[in-house]
Chain A
Amino acid sequence: DTGVSQDPRHKITKRGQNVTFRCDPISEHNRLYWYRQTLGQGPEFLTYFQNEAQLEKSRLLSDRFSAERPKGSFSTLEIQRTEQGDSAMYLCASSGGLGAGTQYFGPGTRLLVL
């Protein structure tokens, strides 16, 4: 068990650029979640996959955001035409047989949009 990994750990981009983040969950976990966290707040849910199927999307997730999990293993989160308000920590989590109450988080990708 190597834990949840995310790449890159930090990303600085200019407004209007596209960015893509990757998440590798714990290998035996079939559920994968993306959250966003800003300073002083708890993580906010963005989207959820069970295997390769995206089963839930938050209303926070505008059309500029898209996520995939093509083979039910790793996942990518893409933000198109980034805005300064997108600056946040993007967290990935996974869970297995114990269900959604027990989620294991990766180290996050800190995005700064200039």
Chain B
Amino acid sequence: GQSLEQPSEVTAVEGAIVQINCTYQTSGFYGLSWYQQHDGGAPTFLSYNALDGLEETGRFSSFLSRSDSYGYLLLQELQMKDSASYFCAVKVTGGGNKLTFGTGTQLKVEL
């Protein structure tokens, strides 16, 4: 089976930079996705990494190290609206087309 570990909660101040880590154990690995979910809302796609390295999209960046079974989401210039839950999710080889999600990291941005 697959297991993913993320911190349950992270707090940061507006304007700061925060990193949310995700480690995974899988029987095979294809790629790592990140989703944002506000309370009561649907998950929103942020990024997908299949290869090692850093992918940047505006204020958000995502990193993957396949050899370390590790990835992170980096949020820069934090804004209050970034307060949400962030989920990492893996797509595994031989696992069909489903994503397996972590339990999520609750990010609180304070003034």
Contacts and interface: CB of A to CB of B under 8 A. Distances in A.
- Asked if A pairs with B, the answer is yes
Interface of A: 31, 33, 40-45, 48, 50, 55-56, 58, 91, 93, 95, 98-108
B70 interface: no
Interface string B47-74: 0101000000000000000000000000
B41 A45 contact: no
B42 A101 contact: no
Interface of B: 30-33, 35, 41-45, 48, 50, 87, 89, 91, 96-104
Contact of B41 (A40, A48, A107): A107
Residue from A40, A55, A101 whose CB has the most chain B CB atoms within 10 Å = A101
Given A40-B103, A102-B45, A105-B42, A50 B97 contact: yes
Contacts of B97: 31, 33, 48, 50, 55-56, 95, 99-100
Nearest to B104: A42
B96 A42 contact: no
Contacts of A105: 35, 42-45
A91 B43 contact: yes
Contacts, number: 68
B31 A101 contact: yes
B101 A44 contact: yes
Nearest to A92: B42
B96 A101 contact: no
A64 B40 CA distance: 26
Contacts of B43: 43, 91, 93, 105
Contacts of A43: 43, 87, 99, 101
Contacts of B104: 40-42
Given A43-B43, A108-B42, A101 B99 contact: yes
A93 B101 CA distance: 14
Contact of B96 (A55, A91, A104, A108): A55
Contact of B45 (A33, A45, A56, A103): A103
Given A40-B103, A42-B102, A42-B103, A101 B30 contact: yes
